[in-house]
Amino acid sequence: MTFADHLTTFHGLPVLTYPGLDAEDLPAADSVAWRLDCYAADMVAFDELWESFTERVPSASVRALVIGPWWGDDGYDELRPVLERIVAAADRFPALRALFLADATGEECEISWLQLTDVTPALEAFPLLEEFGVRGGDSSGLGDEPLSLRPVRHEALRVLRFESGGLPSQVVRAVGACELPALERLEMWLGVRRYGGDTAVADLAPILGGGRFPALRHLALEDSEVQDEIAAAVASAPVVAQLESLSLALGTLTDTGAEALLAGQPLGHLKRLDLHHHYLSEAVTDRVRTALAAGATEVDLSDRQVPHLWRDTEWRYVAVSE
């Protein structure tokens, strides 16, 4: 899955876009992840689409919900009113275990233009939620509110994912301050400073220190313009010992970052190391493969990039920014 695609599966369920106000012959409510998309519903207002969905689909059985484009012809609306509707109806969704906000592609809205909000109420309203995903970042100043998060304790959450061309450091620090005893997978696209991705390695310290999330088995710190610095920090990070898979993909990883990994703690216990979309030389690429070849670690070194030259300066780009 990339930003060019909509979700096709979510929480182990096929994603079905709700057909709209005249929906008929719908599948069982618990058999799919329901996607609400105002574009696909002929630009109907979200409030109307929500009312139709909650009337025609037995909400008490819905297990997974995906929010696609929620705006109409007048421009990109903020997510806050949409999230407020969902939170207000929380008692009607006792079986909800997965929620994804802002499943929009670049053709529908650039990732940095998605106008988000404080998403903490979703975690507070659904204490049994197991999977939570958010796409977007600081909205590039288009809206009144950037994406934000407050530290919370959540007993059930197993998967937390942020996809962003510029993830605010406030969100990263809030994640590190959360108490998530069941969290198994943490994935964050950190993005670039130009689009609000101002995370420094120091902001990752609570996560990298280990012990914060005792159940964590997969960590992805991706899509960063400081991927080398992150790799150097990961090379000695205590959290790595508890992981089964690690991803530093989608960013500007160069030989410097890869060599830091090679010189750091052993990675042979990992089942998978994902470094795809990188700027490694062929020689260092071979060294990484050779170093992990003796074990059972699957290494993804695909999508090798070549720096762009402009006025004798090399430019490296993350996979997703604007």
The pLDDT of residue 22 is: 81
Please list, residue by residue across 215-238, b when 16 or more beta carbons sit within 10 angstroms of its beta carbon and e when fewer do: ebebbbbbbbbbbbbbbbbbbebe
Using CA atoms, how far apart are residues 218 and 200, in angstroms rounded to an integer?
21
Using CA atoms, how far apart are residues 222 and 225, in angstroms rounded to an integer?
9
Tell me how many helices (H) and strands (E) the chain has.
8, 14
Residue 272: phi, psi to the nearest 5?
A: -150, 135
Question: Max Cα separation, the chain?
Answer: 61
User: Residue 259 is inside which H or E element, if any?
Assistant: helix 255-263
Report, as an integer, the average pLDDT of 164-173.
96
Q: What is the pLDDT of residues 104-154, one digit of tens each?
A: 998 888 898 898 999 999 999 999 999 999 999 865 555 557 899 999 999
Q: What is the pLDDT of residues 191-207, one digit of tens each?
A: 999 999 999 999 999 99
Q: How crowded is residue 36: how many other Cβ atoms within 10 Å of its Cβ?
A: 23
Report, as an integer, the average pLDDT of 250-278.
97
Q: What is the pLDDT of residues 22-35, one digit of tens each?
A: 878 999 999 999 99
Q: What is the pLDDT of residues 27-61, one digit of tens each?
A: 999 999 999 999 888 888 999 999 999 999 999 99
Are 101 and 122 a contacting pair, CB within 8 Å? Answer: yes
What pTM did the predictor assign?
A: 0.95
